[in-house]
Structure formats: structure tokens, C-alpha cells
Amino acid sequence: MTEQLRLMAVHAHPDDESSKGAATMAKYVSEGVDVLVATCTGGERGSILNPKLQGDAYIEANIHEVRRKEMDEAREILGVEQAWLGFVDSGLPEGDPLPPLPDGCFALQDVETAAEPLVRLIRSFRPHVMTTYDENGGYPHPDHIMTHKISMAAFEAAGDATRYPDAGPAWQPQKIYYNQGFNPQRTRALHEALLERGLESPYGEWLERFKEFQRKERELTTFVPCGDFFEIRDKALIAHATQIDPDGGWFRVPLEIQREVWPTEEYELAKSLVDTSLPEDDLFSGIREN
């Protein structure tokens, strides 16, 4: 390649970039790839999930500002660039029947309109590869599903100069992937490895949730070796202190077991405009060669 390789990861909230594909991004940064995280919302309606910070009046009153600072710290740890698309968190409605989503939130935006700032960012950054969520959002959070919708719309539109003509010169990414790091195959492998070693597994409940959220197992097309970057991934995740309990289930599996049993992060190739052979071990397969 005579041109710098570039990767764009589109995420719904601050902290999603650190829990989905963070080790992959850190690996590519170490290889000299330019990596940009596009964060759709500010996470304003996110709950404080770290029990050590629950009840903190300052955080509760300034959650938007706090989460921006957490994102800055995670960005520095991962070595990536980051941009906000400026949408408002939809929250995660609960109840039966589900309450309506808040007026003006991200998930209620018109897709064609909401894709415009992402098209603008794509044309400015000019990524060769994008990552996003599948049509189920990875799990059925309204912001994750909307992230999928605008990512796919922007991927299709960014290279068409007749669409969004005021959003900069056309640029066509060559591949787009769905993050599939929370896949049943990986979870089962780690769960069984822990039990075989006589250790407690945090994944029993996860496996039950897979049955609830996913109708079928997704096709994993791409396995990026990035075990050497799991520690960076975890540091970035811990930087999102309001969202992550450092003593919680995320960190109960020793890194040496993770690297031995499942040293990759997984993706599903959604669309490619270049020839590539599956399975892959590189998001840039078919691009480096050309």
C-alpha cells in the first residue's frame, strides 16, 4: 500500500468502543493504521453501573461531562482518534409494555437525516474499512440498532457524489463488518476452559442470555489475532468508570487463559467491494494486496 490504511469503528455510546473490538483497534494502531472511533451519542441516559460510584451526586448531575472525560481517557489508552456524531442517548426502555422512547433521541431520528454526519465523517477520514453492529444491534438496545441503520446507509451513500453533496468529496469504504466479539462460540470455549481448570465461570448467565437475544448463531468470518492487546483493552474499559465495575465479571477470566483459549476478536463480514477469502485473520484482507 502506498496509502495509509484507515479503520473507522462506529459505536453507539462511550464505552462501547472499549468492550467491542478494542484489542483489534490497539493492534492496528501498533501497526501504524489510523483508527477513528465514531461515537453516535453522549451516553447521557446511561445508568451508573459501577456500584462504587452509584449515589454520587456530582456524577449523577454531570453524567454527560463525566462520560466525555472517560471517553478521552479510553481514547488515549487505545491510541485512536475519536469523534462525536452529536445524537442524544435513547436510554434502554424497560417494562411491559415498553414505555415510549424520549422525544428527540437518537433512535427516533430519520435514518436518511441521521446518516448525514456519519457520511461527512467518512468522507473526511476516508476509511478503507468500517465496523458497526448487526441488524439486531448485537443486543436489542435501540441506539445499537440505530447505529447499524445509519452505518449501513452511510457506507452505501458516502461513495455516491450525488448523495449528501454538501458533506464533502465522495469516498467509498471497501469493507464493512459487524462486531461479533460476544459470540456463543467464544463464550462456551472460555466457560468450559474455566470449569475444566476448577475455576468459577462468569459465563453461565451469558450463555442463557444468548438464547434470549439471538435466534441463531452468527457467521463468524474474520478472526483477528490480538491477544497481546487484551490488557490495553481492559485498561480502556476500566477508564469508563461509571459503566464498569473493575471487580466485576468482565475481568474474572485470567488473561493467560483468554490468550490460550481464545486469542482473537471476531467479526462478520457484512459487505466487501474487494475480493477476499474466508475465513480471514485481517480486516484489511483484499485491501492490502490491492
* Residue 27: inside a domain: yes
144 is in an annotated binding site: yes
Q: Residue 281: inside a domain, yes or no?
A: no
Is 96 a member of any domain? yes
Structural element, H or E, at residue 81: strand 81-87
Task: Say what the pLDDT of residue 205 is.
Answer: 84
Q: Say how far apart CA 230 and CA 18 lie, in whole Å.
A: 11
N-term to C-term CA, the chain: 7
**What residue numbers bound the domain in which 57 lies?**
6-182+219-272
112 close to 150: Cβ distance less than 8 angstroms: no
* Residue 245, phi then psi, degrees to nearest 5: -85, 115
Crossing angle (nearest 10°) for helices 63-78 and 230-239: 160
- Angle among Cα 128, 263, 261 to the nearest 5 degrees reads 155
d(CA 35, CA 236) in angstroms, rounded, equals 15
What is the number of other CB atoms lying within 10 angstroms of the CB of residue 5? 18
Would you say residue 47 lies in a domain? yes
Helix (H) or strand (E) holding 270: strand 264-272
In a domain? residue 287: no
- CB 14, CB 43: distance < 8 Å: yes
Which residues does residue 223 pair with via DSSP β-bridges, in sequence order?
266
- Report how many domains make up the chain: 1
Determine, yes or no, domain membership for 193: no
Residue 206 domain flag: no
13 annotated ligand-binding residue: yes
Could you read off the pLDDT tens digit of each residue along the chain, which spans 290 residues?
447 999 999 999 999 999 999 999 999 999 999 999 999 999 999 999 999 999 999 999 999 999 999 999 999 999 999 999 999 999 998 888 889 999 999 999 999 999 999 999 999 999 999 999 999 998 889 999 999 999 999 999 999 999 999 999 999 999 999 999 989 999 999 999 999 999 999 988 888 877 776 557 889 999 999 999 999 999 999 999 999 998 887 898 999 999 999 999 999 999 999 999 999 999 999 999 87
Phi, psi of 139 (to 5 degrees): -150, 155
Q: Length of the chain in residues, anyone? A: 290
3-state secondary structure of 145: helix
Name the pTM for this structure.
0.95
Q: What CATH number is given to the structural domain containing 26? A: 3.40.50.10320
What span, in angstroms and rounded, lies between the C-alpha atoms of 109 and 104? Answer: 7
16 a known binding residue?
yes
| SS3 call for 221 | coil
Q: What is the pLDDT of residue 74?
A: 98
Domain presence at residue 237: yes
